[in-house]
Amino acid sequence: MKKTIFILLIGLLGFQAAVRGQARYFTKQGHISFFSEAPLENIEAHNEQVVSFIDMSTGDLVFSVTMRAFQFRKSLMQEHFNENFVESDTYPKATFKGRVMNIKAIDLSGDHTYKVNVTGVLTIHGVDKQVDTEGILVVQDNKIQGKSTFSVTPQEFNIEIPLLVREHIAKRIDITVEMLYEPFTSQTP
């Protein structure tokens, strides 16, 4: 009898682990871009080396972004971004740790599109800032595509813009996040 209960308990724990494993999704090739419309010249950069996890059972969501991986149209813009603005040597990564607040409304068993509310802490340049935004999660073919756009200001993250170029840079910067998550398994690199 004890052996039967033990086997059932082990089976139940294994089943729970399998269910939890199916609820976690991962990407290491997410895409984050930012755009700043400015009088002199628009500033735009793209980063396709974004690592992110989402746990569909809890809504927990994390991102890690290497700042030097942002690519600009002009190499001089990229150099100024890394050396003068975000100081990538001192602050090499930006992170987001948060949660999809309405995660229980998402059904992974079929293909659907959901509006979601995301809240969490964005850390850039060593500064934490609360971010609340809306997004979209598209469940399709056992993958989840996530999209969101929100705005920040350099001042919120103690990023100083030199007086010489201050009037040529927009006050707000639009950030666009696009992820394609796949199920996370123990074999995921």
The pLDDT tens digits for 61-119 are: 999 999 999 999 999 989 989 998 899 999 999 999 999 999 999 999 999 999 999 99
Q: With beta carbons less than 8 A apart as the criterion, state whether 31 and 178 touch.
A: yes
- Rounded (5°) CA angle 95-100-103: 150
d(CA 70, CA 78): 8
pLDDT tens for 169-181 read 778 899 999 999 9
Question: What predicted TM-score, i.e. pTM, was given to this entire model?
Answer: 0.82
74/54 Cα distance (integer angstroms): 33
Q: Which CATH number is 24-183's, of 1.20.200.10, 3.30.2130.30, 2.40.128.110, 3.40.140.10?
A: 2.40.128.110
DSSP-derived letter for residue 156 is G
Tokens describing residue 81: 């971004």
